[in-house]
Amino acid sequence: MSLPNSTDHWQQVVHLALGRAEYARTHELQRLLHSMRCRGEIGDTVITVEHDPVFTIGRSGSRSNIRISEEELQSEGIPVYDIERGGDITYHGPGQLVVYPIIDLRSYGRDIKKYINRLEQAMIGLLTEFSLHAVRRAGLPGVWIDDRKIASIGVSVRHWVTEHGLALNISVNSDHFAMINPCGMSIEMISLCDLVAPAPGMAEVEGRLLKHMEAVFDWNIALGDPEYYWERLNG
């Protein structure tokens, strides 16, 4: 397989659907794609993935927001990673759609706040399809239903190329979220399944969200082959 054509217009975006994948390995893949995007070897790319249970802590985060002991963490088998995205602690796990855009913001006005706003808008548009009134909160990236949070955003931007992204709860284990102070706050996290019956499946939500991302970013998304990049990562 050849590399995506880096001379394509910036609106052409390759979608890598990873399915279920372990966090640390996916993080390595993000770093590879980020380096390739910085060098112009690939065009803008978006990853979708469902992770095994994991807690990640961003640049402004603290392990003090983990509410269980180290022994309990080990018993639950949930690893903790300190990573370079913004924000505090969050949870990823089954039933949560995670989206990692690897895009060059120099083609989008070099505006990180606008980028985050667009991620939020795509999720708000999706949730509106289910007759849900989803909103932003000033200074708190993510999407809310009343005073409960249904989606989180944490990004990293280096050399104007993005990493990390958004996490939308579809049918997440609420007991796992209860083990932390999500985003460093005492808040309730909810899932789409708590609000909509019957709850849509992961594939349906993924497809709908990507359509909204196409609209807010003016993208044309084409499905790519993640195996090429996994093989390159394996060296």
Q: What are phi and psi of 221, to 5 degrees?
A: -90, 135
Among 123, 51, 118, 39, residue whose Cα is nearest residue 90:
51
CA 138 to CA 127: how far, in whole Å? Answer: 19
Can you name the residues that pair with 66 across neighbouring β-strands?
180
Structure tokens at 197: 């019956």
Q: What are phi and psi of 164, to 5 degrees?
A: 60, -160
Catalytic residue among 183, 192, 209, 221: 183
CA 188 to CA 182: how far, in whole Å? Answer: 8
From the number of C-beta atoms within 10 Å of its C-beta (0-12, 13-18, 19+), residue 188 rates as middle
Active site residue 183: yes
Structure tokens at 66: 């983990």
Count CB atoms within 10 A of the CB of residue 187: 16
Find all residues with CB under 8 Å of 39, minimum gap 6, and list them. none
**Rounded to whole angstroms, what are the CA distances from 122 to 164, 217, 223?**
16, 9, 19
Find all residues with CB under 8 Å of 186, minimum gap 6, and list them. none
Catalytic center residues? 183
